Amino acid sequence: MSTRSDHRVVIRQVAPGLHRVGHDAVNFYLAVEDGRVGLVDAGLPASWPVLEEALRSLGHAPPDVVAVAVTHAHFDHLGCARRLQTDHGVPVLVHPGDAHLAAHPYRYRPARNRFLFAATHRGGWPHLAAMTRSGALGVRPPLRTQPLTPGALPDFPGRPEVVVTPGHTDGHVVLHFPRASAVVTGDALVTLDPYTGLTGPRVVASGATNDPRLAVRSLEAIAATGAMHVLPGHGEPWHGGAALAAERAALAGVA
């Protein structure tokens, strides 16, 4: 188990069989079971050596990744997916509602213009700058995707359940790992909003969320998992239970 941490990179076990890889304000996760590795989200293009380091620390390498399960198809969650697919034949799983977005990860229309929103919220600037430095503006989409549908995902390490949580994007999902009492929430629930710099459980700002009201309603599905560990796409893990995290996120509202 690796516990590396510095100002830009975090590699740490955060729940049984689940390892957080944090790089420049973006998290992705390794699920490890019986010598097999699944990747939940794929970070940024410059996250590739960080991914290699994380895998190496667990005794693995990129060819050992059996699949990439994408919570949603925004560019900052697809960064290494194309390379895993083309170099190692790793399938990329995306909910059908985000299949078009996966092919065109910059073509989305949030509730508020994302460029104007970012320009007027200085708190997000350091995080957006870090993401840009790591290739956020140059993500190459996967060549193809396979459908990630609701329900059990028995062939994926850790045997998660796919739960639909639309709002941030049309096809957003979270992955609930019942045996680890953990839920990987992507951007449906974060503890750092990179568009505002605000911390604590919350929904990502309207400058990056398609339908804020629907996103808030989807918090109920996260709470219903009953998971102890909430593993977000941005920010620190929350170990106080999904129900409390969802309650606080709803109270925080959407910037």
> What pTM did the predictor assign?
0.95
Give the C-alpha separation, 247 to 198, whole Å.
Answer: 17
Give the C-alpha separation, 79 to 133, whole Å.
Answer: 13
* Residue 6 pLDDT: 54
Buried b (16+ CB within 10 A) or exposed e, 179-214: ebbbbbbbbbbbbbbbbbbbebbbbbbbbbbbbbee
* Residue 5 pLDDT: 52
| Structural domain spans, the chain | 9-252
Buried b (16+ CB within 10 A) or exposed e, 24-54: bbbbbbbbbbeebbbbbbbbbbbbbebbeeb
3-state SS record for 28-56: EEEEEECCEEEEECCCCHHHHHHHHHHHH
Return left, alpha or beta for 43; rule: phi > 0 is left, psi -120 to 50 is alpha, else beta: left
Domain 9-252 sits in CATH at: 3.60.15.10
Q: Are 83 and 90 in contact (CB under 8 A)?
A: no
pLDDT in tens, the chain (255 residues): 456 555 578 899 999 999 999 999 999 999 999 999 999 999 999 999 999 999 999 999 999 999 999 999 999 999 999 999 999 999 999 999 999 999 999 988 899 998 899 999 999 999 999 999 999 999 999 999 999 999 999 999 999 999 999 999 999 999 999 999 999 999 999 999 999 999 999 999 999 999 999 999 999 999 999 999 999 999 999 999 999 999 999 999 999
Residue 196 exposure: Cα atoms within 13 Å on the Cβ side: 19
* Residue 8 pLDDT: 76
Give the C-alpha separation, 239 to 182, whole Å.
Answer: 9
**Longest alpha-carbon distance in the chain:** 48
Helix (H) or strand (E) holding 129: helix 125-133
* Residue 63 pLDDT: 95
Give the C-alpha separation, 9 to 105, whole Å.
Answer: 24
Q: Residue 167's CB: how many other CB atoms inside 10 A? A: 24
* Residue 183 pLDDT: 98
The 8-class DSSP code of residue 61 comes to -
* Residue 7 pLDDT: 52
Q: Are 171 and 98 in contact (CB under 8 A)?
A: yes
Strands 199-202 and 151-152: unpaired
